[in-house]
Structure 1
Amino acid sequence: MTQNFDRRRHPVRPDLAASDYEGLADAGRFVEGEVFQVKADRLAMRPEPRQDRPIDTEALRGEWLTVYEQTPEGWAWGQLDTDGYVGWFSSDGLGPVTAATHRVRALRTYRYPAPDLKSVPLGLLSLGSKVTVTGEAETRGLAYALLSDGSAVVARHLVPLEDREEDWVRVAEELLGTPYLWGGRSSLGLDCSALVQLAAQTGGHDLPRDSDMQEAEAGEEIPHDDPAALERGDLLFWKGHVGIVAGPGKLLHANGHTMTVAFEPLEQAIERIAATEWGAITKARRLSAPEST
């Protein structure tokens, strides 16, 4: 078999592959995966089991990972359920599975050992993290959601999993000033495609992780030769980059030019990027209205 499998999307290696690929790929052995839940606030995923390799992406607390291998050195190799991304990550960041009920809608929220903002936080959850709410409590007039692990978060920072934002671009705008981080996928630091993925997710759009995947699969292709015809929420692609049309003549993107999530005049961005290795716009896409749940 000579088919090439994208390592980012297919759990296939020369020595090991998921059992679903038996008969489709050449591998030394095929294994059934075991499902875990991310218990770390953020879990870096890398192309190799080495701390000195740049991260490809991050899994967020509460997301599920199917693990196909764990090593004695503390590494695990598997696939993220949310967007199908495959990589290496620390086994220490994994825990048993619980069915999530809510996700974090605030840009970030502290997780406390008790429903009390004066207690020492256990961690900091980012936009898109998933939690299992088992109860509620109120302390000094502030409502908390009690979670399945015994911790608590501010209740108004959560929304039910099925909640949908009518204007998901507004969520991306809330991330203005967030530092640019290659491979980052949280409100503490993210890259261009993660900004698109996380914000669009709040509007009910499940997009792939990387810009080349989004360019091929997100919504439907639309003409891009007339910037004036673009609408809020349209996605513009360059080689290795994606930005969001936030309004007439306005681009919103996480970028290495400002090293932040920033607005940029669209015509200026087109001219500036054209003079770099990324060149001209390659495609524009428009997300369709998500199916109602």
Structure 2
Amino acid sequence: MKYGICPISVAPMRLEAKDTSEMVSQVLYGEYFKIIEERKKWVKIRLAHDSYEGWIDIKQIIEIEAETYHEIDRSKHEYAKDLISHITHHNESLSTITIGAQVSTSKYLADSYQLESTSGSNKSDLINNALLLLNSPYLWGGRTPLGIDCSGFTQLVYRLCGFKLNRDASQQAKQGEVLSFIEEAEEGDLAFFDNNEGHITHVGLIMRDNYIIHAHGKVRIDRLDQSGIFNVERHLHTHKLRVIKKIM
């Protein structure tokens, strides 16, 4: 088994081993992974934090020893808290990184980063983190404020509070405790929505007073009722409510 780490701000993770393939997710700076398959120009990886798999350009990774991988895995994880910040390389050049980058691994890349205080871990902190991303454009497979999808958004918000969510909405829906009614929900709980075939395809973060913040076109705030998400601008329900889950 081989192991690696991402040395650049963000790398696309693709469904197949080619540049024209669909981007299914992104790998952020400092995230580490197992290499489960190799080709000449591509490697298939399994991310350590959520076990998500996909193909990444071999030029956008650095291999690490198994001992280093396990040392990182045992250590405390720290993440960039600002929407945009910088990493300093050993030659004094800078690279831009985004919120959620795994900066506690910078030393393994011979980089330096000024670690900040640990993020809070209550539900009001979840909402504060979510509001930082307000108006971020929607991007299928995206995980940064420059482009993010619905489950990438909720995963990042929870990550900043030290809680692990899986990558896709359908996977996240299997986590946590089911709530029977909207009235039982608290800010920070997750609402999941399904399509006409009954497959869960969307997720958002519940706010106070029957509002929800979610990534749909952009990270936006809409109304939430027993039917689903009501878009005030378009005067219609855009998503059908399936289930509400309490994660923390």
Tell me if both proteins adopt one fold, taking TM over 0.5 as the criterion. Answer: yes
Residue 215 of structure 2 is matched in structure 1 by 254
Structure 2 CA distance for partners of 1:149 and 1:48, relative to 1, 3 Å: closer
Q: Is the 8 A contact 1:58 1:183 kept in 2?
A: yes
Q: Tell me the secondary structure at the aligned position of residue 66 of structure 1.
A: strand
Letter in 2 for 1:60: L
Residue 233 of structure 1 is matched in structure 2 by 188
- 1:63 paired to 2:18: no
Letter in 1 for 2:247: L
Runs of 4+ in 1 over 3 A off after TM superposition: 96-102, 112-115, 147-153
Q: 2: distance between equivalents of 1:248 and 1:170?
A: 16
Structure 2 CA distance for partners of 1:271 and 1:133, relative to 1, 3 Å: closer
User: Given the two structures, how large is their TM-score scaled by the length of structure 2?
Assistant: 0.81
Runs of 5+ consecutive residues of structure 1 not aligned to the other structure: 1-32, 135-146, 289-293
Structure number having the greater helix percentage: 2
Map residues 94-133 of structure 1 onto 2, 5 A cutoff.
94-97=61-64, 99=72, 102-113=78-89, 122-132=94-104
Letter in 1 for 2:87: R
TM-aligned CA deviation for residue 149 of structure 1:
4.2
User: Given the two structures, how large is their TM-score scaled by the length of structure 1?
Assistant: 0.69
TM-aligned CA deviation for residue 77 of structure 1:
0.8
TM-aligned CA deviation for residue 112 of structure 1:
3.5
Ranked by relative contact order (alpha carbons within 8 Å, sequence separation 6 or more), the top structure is: 2
- 1:87 paired to 2:87: no
Q: Is the 8 A contact 2:151 2:169 kept in 1?
A: yes
Q: Tell me the secondary structure at the aligned position of residue 173 of structure 1.
A: helix
Letter in 2 for 1:202: L
Map residues 1-293 of structure 1 onto 2, 5 A cutoff.
33-72=1-40, 74-97=41-64, 99=72, 102-113=78-89, 122-132=94-104, 147=107, 149-153=109-113, 155=114, 158-159=116-117, 163-166=119-122, 167-217=125-175, 219-224=176-181, 227-239=182-194, 240-255=201-216, 259-267=217-225, 270-271=229-230, 280-288=240-248
Q: How many corresponding residue pairs? A: 228
Letter in 2 for 1:112: T
Identity %: 25
Q: Tell me the secondary structure at the aligned position of residue 204 of structure 2.
A: strand
Q: 1: distance between equivalents of 2:173 and 2:130?
A: 18
- When the two chains are superposed, the root-mean-square deviation of aligned CA atoms in Å is 2.8
Q: 1: distance between equivalents of 2:159 and 2:26?
A: 15
TM-aligned CA deviation for residue 52 of structure 1:
1.5
Q: 1: distance between equivalents of 2:155 and 2:211?
A: 19
Q: Is the 8 A contact 1:251 1:269 kept in 2?
A: no
Q: Tell me the secondary structure at the aligned position of residue 18 of structure 2.
A: coil
Q: Is the 8 A contact 1:105 1:159 kept in 2?
A: no
TM-aligned CA deviation for residue 229 of structure 1:
3.7
Q: 2: distance between equivalents of 1:263 and 1:279?
A: 13
